[in-house]
Amino acid sequence: MTHSEQPSFVYAFPHSIKEHVMSTVAEAQSESRQESILKPGRVSIYEPDQEGLIFPTMPKFKSVQEHRTHLKERLVAACRAFALQGYDYGFAGHLTVRDPENPSLYWTNPMAVHFSQVKMSNLICADHQGNVVEGEYAINRAGFVLHAAVHEQHQDIRRHVPRTHDVRHGIRLARQAAGADFARCCCIF
């Protein structure tokens, strides 16, 4: 069968899909569509219209200290979750969260403490110059360099910034050093 003898539906089908997708995109982008989705007084299009349903919202804090405690609790929980997933190769891992009162400071897990052992009491607070301003543990210098740059360049990042390695990553690096073609790293999310 030559090109001209092929059935026309082969070419018509993809074209009709493209038209459908483009018209759907155009509809979704129209202001009137957006206004009808996000009703006055709503923060999210996912909020239910029906009264009385539970919908998760950001917590309201009575004080900066309460907000800081909330963030630190979640930082500890994130460290523990990383430990459960095996992202705990040696001490090559750090998570940070910006302080709610002073955005030039960030909270992080202590150096050389296994993720499963991170607690509220051993978190450290550091500035972008790498000085520990609260806490007894040393800061992970590799983490400081990376996270300070991220936090300084992206003032909008208010929550967790994680970076870690697992055993498989170390194996890939070892193979790469030995000449194997394993130059790519991976990310779980």
pLDDT digits (tens, 9 = 90+) for 40-69: 777 677 778 788 888 887 889 999 999 999
| 33 and 73 both lie in a single domain | no
Expressed as residue numbers, the domain containing 101 is 64-177
Indicate which CATH number applies to the domain containing 120. Answer: 3.40.225.10
Q: Does residue 88 lie in a domain region?
A: yes
List the one residue out of 131, 158, 157 whose CA is nearest residue 67.
Answer: 158
The answer to whether position 46 is within a domain reads no
What does DSSP assign to residue 87? Answer: -
pLDDT in tens, 119-172: 999 999 998 888 999 999 998 777 777 767 776 776 666 655 555 655 555 444
Better-predicted residue by pLDDT, 110 or 32? 110
Residue 23 has pLDDT above 70, yes or no: no
Q: How far apart are CA 165 and CA 11, in angstroms?
A: 48
- pLDDT, position 10: 40
Helix (H, G, I), strand (E, B) or coil at 133: strand
Does some domain include residue 188?
no
Task: Determine contact, residues 72/99, Cβ cutoff 8 Å.
Answer: no
For residue 137, which amino acid is it?
A: Y
State how many domains the chain has.
2
pTM for the model stands at: 0.61
Give the span between the Cα atoms of 20 and 15, in whole angstroms: 9
Are 110 and 131 in contact by the 8 Å Cβ rule? The answer is: no
Residue 45, domain member (yes or no): no
